[in-house]
Amino acid sequence: MKVTINDFLKMKPEGKKITMLTAYDYPFAQIVDEAGMDAILVGDSLAMVVQGLENTLPVTMDEMIYHTKMVSRAVKRAMVIGDMPYLSYQVSVEDAVRNAGRFIKEAGAQAVKIEGGREAAEKVEAMTKAEIPVMAHIGLTPQAVHRMGGYKVQGRTEEAAKTLLEDAKILQDAGAFSLLLEAIPAELAAQITNGLFVPTIGIGAGPHCDGQVLVIHDVLGLFERFVPKFVKRYANLKEEALKAIKQYKEEVEKGIFPGKEHSF
Ligand code: KIV
C-alpha cells in the first residue's frame, strides 16, 4: 500500500518519525523504496547533483517531469513528491496549478513541493483546492539563492524567527499537508513543529522535526562539490565505483575479461 498524506498526518501524533530521501531515476528510486523510506522527493537538487549545474535555478518543468516519471515507475510504497522548479509557480496561481497538475497527471507523483513563505500561500491554497497535496518549503529556500546571498542558515534573528513561525501557520492554514524546514536553528524548528498539526520534515533543522530528508547523492558520497554541515555521509559510492571501473579497465587491458564464463 502506498504511503498517503493521511499516513503523514497520523504519524505526527503517534510520534513516528517520517523518513524521506531524494531520488531522480529508476534504479535509485527502487533502492530507496525497497529500503522502506516513507517518501521520495524528486528534488530540483537534481540540477546540481545530476545535471552538474551551479544551482537549482535552470532546471525546467519538462526535465522535472522526465525524472519524476522514472521514479514513479520504480516505486511501490513510498509517496512520490515532485519538486516544482523555479518559475513554474512564482508567476501566477494558474501556472502553479497547471504545472503542479503535470506532476500528478503525467509523472505519477502523489504530491508536490514548493518553496516560499506567506507569498506562496495563495498558490498552496489553489493547488490544494485542485486536489493536489502540497508540501511547503521554508527557511533556506535554494531558489532564492540570489536574494539570500548564498546558502545561509535562516531564522537566526528574533524578527526572522517570528516571520518563519508565522509563515508556517499561514501555509498550514492554506492547506499544506506538511512543511519542509531547511537550515534553521534546531530550537526554532522545534517551536514550529510544536505549533503545527501537520508534520515538519527537516534538513539542517535539528532533531525535533517530525521527519528528516537528505539528498541521496550526499548520503551515498556521490556529490563532492560541497558538503553542508547537516549532511551525514553513510557510504562512499564514488570510491566503490572508481575501484570497480578501474578493475574492469585493467582486466580488459590485460585480456582477463571477458573470460570463458562470459563468452558463448
Ligand atoms: O531539491 C531538494 O532536494 C530539496 C532538499 C531540501 C531535500 O528540496
Reduced to 3 states (helix: H, G, I; strand: E, B; else coil), residue 186 is helix
Question: Which residue among the candidates 182, 239, 251, 261 is catalytic per the annotation?
Answer: 182
CATH number of 5-233: 3.20.20.60
Counting Cβ atoms within 10 Å, is residue 90 exposed (0-12), middle (13-18) or buried (19+)? middle
Half-sphere exposure of 45 (CA within 13 A, CB side): 19
Which among 184, 180, 186, 176 is positioned nearest to 202, based on CA atoms? 180
42/49 Cα distance (integer angstroms): 12
Task: Supply the pLDDT for residue 226.
Answer: 86
Residues with CB under 6 A from ligand 1: 22, 41, 43-45, 83, 182, 203, 213, 215
- 119 Cβ contact list (under 8 Å, min separation 6): none
183 phi-psi bin (left φ>0, alpha ψ -120 to 50, beta other): left
- 45 Cβ contact list (under 8 Å, min separation 6): 22, 56, 83, 142, 215
Q: Whose CA is nearest to atom 8 of ligand 1?
A: 43
Task: Supply the pLDDT for residue 141.
Answer: 98
The answer to whether residue 106 is catalytic is no
Q: pTM for this one?
A: 0.98
Q: Are strands 111-115 and 178-182 parallel, antiparallel or unpaired?
A: unpaired
* Probe residue for ligand 1, chosen from 21, 179, 182 as the CB with the greatest number of ligand atoms within 8 Å: 182
Question: Which residue carries 498558490 as its cell?
Answer: 123
Ranges of residues in the chain with a pLDDT under 50 are none
Task: Supply the pLDDT for residue 76.
Answer: 98
Q: What is the largest distance, in Å, between two alpha-carbon atoms of the chain?
A: 72
- 195 Cβ contact list (under 8 Å, min separation 6): 165, 168, 169
Please state the domain extents for the chain.
5-233, 237-264
